[in-house]
Structure 1
Amino acid sequence: MPELLPPTVAVHRSFLAGMTEFQAEGRGAADDQSMIGAEIRAYRDSWHNPEVFAEYTAWLRAQALEESPRPPTHVPSTTLWWVDGDAYLGRLAIRHRLNDSLRELGGHIGYDVRPSARLRGHATAMLAAALPIAEALGIDSVLVTCDVDNVGSRRVIESNGGVFDDERSGKLRFWVPTAPVGSAR
Structure 2
Amino acid sequence: MPQLAPPSGLVHRSFIAAMEEFRAEGRGGPDDDTTLGRTLCDYGGRWQDPAVFASYVAEVRSAAYPAEPLGVPVTTLWYSEGADYLGRISVRHSVATRFLREYGGHIGYDVRPTARRRGHATDMLRGALPHAAGLGLASVLVTCDTDNVGSRKVIEAAGGAFEDERGGKLRYWIRTDTARV
Query: TM-score, normalised on structure 2?
Result: 0.95
Match of 2:77 among 65, 76, 80: 80
- 2:66–2:74: 8 Å Cα contact kept in structure 1? no
The residue that corresponds to 2:140 in the other structure is: 142
Q: Percent identity?
A: 58
Counterparts of 1:73-152 in structure 2, within 5 Å, are: 73-98=70-95, 99-152=97-150
Q: Distance in 2 between matches of 1:56 and 1:127?
A: 23
CA distance in structure 1 between the aligned counterparts of 2:78 and 2:167, rounded to whole angstroms: 28
Bigger fraction of residues in helix: 2
Aligned positions, number:
178
User: What 5-or-longer segments of structure 1 have no aligned partner?
Assistant: none
Q: Compared with structure 1, are the counterparts of its residues 53 and 29 closer, same or farther at alpha carbon in structure 2 (3 Å cutoff)?
A: same
* Map of 1:154 onto structure 2: 152
TM-score normalised by structure 1 residue count: 0.93
Note the 1:1-185 alignment, pairs <5 A: 1-62=1-62, 64-65=63-64, 70-71=67-68, 73-98=70-95, 99-180=97-178
Gap runs ≥5 in structure 2: none
1:69, 1:39 → 2: CA distance? 10
The 2-side partners of 1:70 and 1:162 are apart by: 25
- Matched-pair contact (CA < 8 Å) for 2:16–2:47: yes
Amino acid of the residue matched to residue 135 of structure 1?
A
User: CA offset at residue 142 of structure 1?
Assistant: 0.4
How far apart, CA to CA, are the structure 1 residues paired with 2:15 and 2:67?
23
CA contact (8 A) 2:66 2:73 kept: no
